[in-house]
Amino acid sequence: MGKFTKLEKQWILYDVGNSAFVLLASTIIPIYYKNIAQVSGISAADSTAYFSYATSLVTMIVAVLGPVLGCLADTKGFKKPVFTFFMMMGVLGCAGLALPKSWLFFLVVYVLAKVGLNASLVFYDAMLGDVTTDERMDVVSAQGYAWGYIGSCIPFVFSLVFVLFSDQLGLSGTVAMAIAFLVNAAWWLLVTLPLLRGYEQKYYVELSAHPFKDSFARLGRIFSEIRERPEIWFFLLAFFFYIDGVYTIIDMATSYGKDVGITDTNLLLALLLTQVVAFPCSILFGYFSKKVRNTVLIQVSIVGYFCVVLFALQLDKTWEFWFLAVWVAVFQGAIQSLSRSYFAKIVPKEKATEYFGFFDIFGKGAAFMGTLLMGISTQLFDTSRAGVAVLAVMFAVGFVLFRMAVKRADA
């Protein structure tokens, strides 16, 4: 990262911090939760469905909070404090997962931690315009995801040692998991401190006499502005569908793998490999964006994910899960980082957090649809494959809508 400014490095470090919890949430947490649920007599299909519903609840809460808080945070002096509040909510929630013994209480704490994470990312994404230039956005955004992938492996591997070798270390499974949650919470907080010290809001709306009331008024104006700009409106609609599929795969891959018979150890190691492979691939796509339009790279990534879902429908062998993990890794960072930087380029910087509030509704907030449909389909047909089939349709619709957005941007 030698070519990056100090502030760009500090911004990238937050991806390194929060990605530790993201990795935990997509690997160890679902396995631990499903094991707790199994002991309580909950069937595999039902426990997967309940986890889907919890994830859907998180995204719906953030979808409601995102635009309102985004409007407030664009006011001078508000972005860093609001970001800090939700970051700490996520950190404390991650540490708090060490406490619950029942599957329902565990899900409640998990929801709180995920709300903190996802809400903090609304403000983090909107900081991109403050920390770098338009010309560097694609590369800096890609570096954030890339270093997030590889950096998160450090606390994850440390946690994995305690989880996989708890018997040899003389620890119970519960104590080993508690250590994992506390280590990842501490990592998240420590690597975020440089950003909290160095970040200053560059673009903002001046403080008014009634900031809360005025934030709601600006929210209505921003929505009207988005509707009047078809290149933004159709991009957000496209993003709603294709990124919903991406986040659903991230959230539910471990649960799906357990349902089709993949062992816990293979699940954890395969998803660790995903992080390692995603690191160079994310950087590579960031540099490709210097020579190839990022809209082309986004379309390639959507098609790549569509193929992932089709392959997952017949998955029933361990080597197939490993192969799928690598294939996902190729496109995971690219589709997220390029979408983030593309959106940051086409919106007004002084209103970035307001617009990113809507970005979060159509993105992370939209993920409730994928997880909810996956949960319902899984329970209706008593198989996770039915839920996975829904994702293929989402990627197809997202691809068509994105093509429409690009045509309007080029018109």
**Domains delineated in the chain:** 6-199+208-410 (1.20.1250.20)
Tell me the pLDDT tens digit for each residue of 188-209.
999 999 999 998 887 766 666 6
Task: Supply angle C-alpha 149, 273, 319, rounded to 5.
Answer: 150
Q: How far is CA 284 from CA 82, 279, 334, in A?
A: 33, 9, 9
Q: How far is CA 349 from CA 202, 267, 345, in A?
A: 9, 41, 8
Alpha helices in 127-168 (DSSP H): 128-131, 137-164
Provide the total of helices (H) and of strands (E) in the chain, helices listed first.
16, 0
Nearest to residue 333, comparing CAs of 23, 113, 62, 83?
23
pLDDT confidence of 240, banded at 50, 70, 90?
Answer: confident
Q: For residues 201-230, b (16+ Cβ closer than 10 Å) or e, as one string?
A: bebbbeeeeebeebbeebbeebeebbeeee
The one-letter code for the residue type at 239 is: F
Who has greater pLDDT, 37 or 192? 192
Spatial contact of 12 and 140, defined as CB atoms under 8 Å apart: yes
Judge whether residue 1 has pLDDT over 60. Answer: no
- The set of residues, in sequence order, having a beta carbon less than 8 Å from that of 163 and lying 6+ positions away, is 28, 173, 176, 177, 180, 268
Judge whether residue 250 has pLDDT over 80. Answer: no
Who has greater pLDDT, 54 or 188? 188
Judge whether residue 2 has pLDDT over 60. Answer: no
- Count CB atoms within 10 A of the CB of residue 108: 15
Who has greater pLDDT, 375 or 158? 158
The one-letter code for the residue type at 156 is: F
- Tokens 């996802």 correspond to what residue? 118
Judge whether residue 148 has pLDDT over 80. Answer: yes
Q: Structure tokens of 410?
A: 């080029």
Spatial contact of 376 and 389, defined as CB atoms under 8 Å apart: no
Judge whether residue 117 has pLDDT over 90. Answer: yes
- Which pLDDT score, from 0 to 100, does residue 53 have? 84
- The set of residues, in sequence order, having a beta carbon less than 8 Å from that of 145 and lying 6+ positions away, is 15, 278, 282, 332, 333, 336, 337
Spatial contact of 160 and 372, defined as CB atoms under 8 Å apart: no
Give the chain's mean pLDDT: 83
Nearest to residue 59, comparing CAs of 398, 370, 356?
370
Tell me the pLDDT tens digit for each residue of 377-394.
777 777 767 777 888 888
- The set of residues, in sequence order, having a beta carbon less than 8 Å from that of 22 and lying 6+ positions away, is 117, 148, 152, 250
Tell me the pLDDT tens digit for each residue of 306-328.
988 888 877 777 888 888 888 88
